[in-house]
Structure formats: structure tokens, C-alpha cells
A = this chain, B = another copy of it.
């Protein structure tokens, strides 16, 4: 190593100085550091990791689309959390495709990330067991682990769904639509289940005729909204199952004036612009979700035998007007 030569010390001593190890005289350390600075030395990660028997210094995050602010907030929270331990975050995109997710996960595994955090697009997560067997903690976010023993961080989807429906019911609505994401998503199922609890408890019948799914992006949510509004028996309120769906519903409503006043809208997930748009939402904190996931993974890295945990984060009703619009008088 050139640095050691310039500093006039042995390789090992230089390594000690650069690595911040003890058992080195301050004067010697400074000498080495000065030499390193002068030569513009950068330690070779690969060699360092190899020698220490480690594999990687970064966590992998797999999401469906970083463009969705929900995921990017999650990524930010995760990054914040692991940076405290000097770790990096590598992001990968599954585009909500199970095949792509598998390949991306494989790739992260090949490159031996220290841990993987995933918002999975798969119904069955047993294939992640391979990673676990290699000592790579896997934490499932937003969508809980299925068919596998693994940590998860999720929102109280059922509770949020119930709160949303109750809120609309309390406002006098009876014809309440649900514009949900893909049906295979646990988040879809749980939010709908929560709504079902409230609707059934209120004695509403036949409400499922206003349930629509597949609203994973704005256009599809708009389309579903339009279809319902143009139907025989239009709903007086909408419960949008995610941030994209809420935007889609709102966009569609903005474009038309509905006889007897605009339908009420409650969205799941808070989103930028919801305040300006006056959209009532079931708010959650994806950034916190990222932080918690990071923490779980770090803890498991420190002690593999920790019991498996599922952390459920709360949701809060934030009223901003759209959810408080009354139904039109018949």
C-alpha cells in the first residue's frame, strides 16, 4: 500500500489508522491519515469486506414503483434509519410484477445485500426463505409476509377501512363505493374487510355492488369512478383504497358537476396535494414504516434468533372537507 510507504509504517498499521482501530499512537495515526489524504487514497470496499468476511454494506429495498410517493417516503425512512449504522440503501423496482420481483430479489441476493426490505407483489413469499437461510433478514412492508416466517411492518388496514366507512356512514351516506387496488393485495382485502365490518354493522345491504378493484393508478381509478357515476344507481360517497385511487376519484369528480352536489370522498394514504385539494384521508406514515422496517432488519442482523414480529402502525382520520360533504337530499 502506497500510503503505508509514504507514512513510513507497515501495511497493518496503516490499515489500523484508516480503519479507526485502537492500539495505535495518535501521532502515527495522523501521519497515516495525512499520507492518505495526500495520495487521495480510497480503501477498496470489496477487499475490505472480503477480508472481514462480510459480504456487503447495504440493504436492498424492493418496491413496485419509486415514483409513487408512498414508496419513496418509505425508502427515505429506511435510508435514514440504516445510515445511522453506516449502511447504504440500494433500491430496486419490481413494477409490481412477481417475475421481475423474483429476478430482482435474486440479483440482490447474488450481490449479497445485508438485508432485504420488500413491498412484495407476490401472493406467496416462500421463495424468500432462500435468502433467510443465507442469513439475510427479510422484512416485508405494507404487505405482510405470507407462507413464511418473517418480520413485517404493516398499517392497520382493517381499522382504517372501518374508520373510513363509519365516517361516511355517520355523514348520512348509504350508497358508498370502494375504489380499491388489485384484489390480490392484502391491503385491498383488509381495507375492504374493515369497510365491510362497518357497513354490515350499519345494516347496509347490497353495498358490494359499488365495489371496484384494479385501481392501481390514476387512470384506472378515474375509469372506475366514471363507470359508477354513469351507472343507474350512482354512489353518494367514495372510499378510495390508496393514494392513486383517491387522486383518480378526485380528478374525475373535478371534471363533472353531479346533480345534487358532489359525492363525498375519503382516501386511504395521505398524499401531497390532499391538503390543497381538501381531501379527507385515512393518513398513515410510510416514512415511519421504512424506519421500523430498517430497525427490525438491523435487530435481526444482530441476533438471528429474535422472535418474528409483525409491527402494525396506526392510521388516523384527517378531515379536510371532501369526506364531510353530505349526501344529496332525495
Residue ranges of A at the interface with B (Cβ–Cβ < 8 Å): 40, 42-50, 54-58, 65-67, 69, 71-73, 75-76, 79-80, 83, 86, 88-93, 107-112, 130, 133-134, 247, 250-251, 254, 271-278, 287
- Would you mind naming 9 contact pairs between A and B with Cβ atoms under 8 Å apart? A42-B134, A45-B56, A67-B73, A67-B287, A69-B69, A71-B72, A72-B72, A80-B93, A254-B276
Closest to A86 in B: B107
Closest to A69 in B: B69
Task: A67 to B250: give the CA distance in the assembly, Å.
Answer: 23
Q: Tell me which of B44, B58, B133, B276 contacts A273 (CB under 8 A).
A: B276
A55/B44 contact (C-beta < 8 A), A91-B91, A247-B272, A271-B272 known? yes
Question: How many whole Å from A77's CB to the nearest CB in chain B?
Answer: 9
State the oligomeric state as a number of copies.
2
The answer to whether B273 touches A112, judged by C-beta atoms less than 8 angstroms apart, is no
Task: A134 to B40: give the CA distance in the assembly, Å.
Answer: 8
* Residues in chain B near residue A40, CB distance under 8 A: 130, 133-134
The answer to whether B56 touches A66, judged by C-beta atoms less than 8 angstroms apart, is no
Kindly list 6 other residue pairs between chains A and B, CB separation below 8 angstroms, not including A46-B47, A83-B92.
A44-B55, A45-B49, A79-B93, A90-B91, A250-B276, A254-B278
A55/B65 contact (C-beta < 8 A), A76-B93, A88-B90, A276-B250 known? no
Task: A57 to B80: give the CA distance in the assembly, Å.
Answer: 22
Q: Tell me which of B54, B71, B111 contacts A57 (CB under 8 A).
A: B111
Question: How many whole Å from A96's CB to the nearest CB in chain B?
Answer: 13
Question: How many whole Å from A132's CB to the nearest CB in chain B?
Answer: 11
A112/B72 contact (C-beta < 8 A), A89-B90, A276-B247 known? no
Question: How many whole Å from A300's CB to the nearest CB in chain B?
Answer: 19
Question: How many whole Å from A217's CB to the nearest CB in chain B?
Answer: 11
Closest to A66 in B: B76
Task: A88 to B271: give the CA distance in the assembly, Å.
Answer: 28
* Residues in chain B near residue A278, CB distance under 8 A: 254
The answer to whether B112 touches A45, judged by C-beta atoms less than 8 angstroms apart, is yes
Task: A55 to B69: give the CA distance in the assembly, Å.
Answer: 32
Closest to A278 in B: B254
Question: How many whole Å from A287's CB to the nearest CB in chain B?
Answer: 7
Task: A115 to B317: give the CA distance in the assembly, Å.
Answer: 44
Task: A73 to B68: give the CA distance in the assembly, Å.
Answer: 8
Q: Which of A46, A54, A89, A93 has the most CB of B within 10 A?
A: A46
Task: A287 to B43: give the CA distance in the assembly, Å.
Answer: 33
The answer to whether A275 touches B251, judged by C-beta atoms less than 8 angstroms apart, is yes
Task: A46 to B69: give the CA distance in the assembly, Å.
Answer: 33
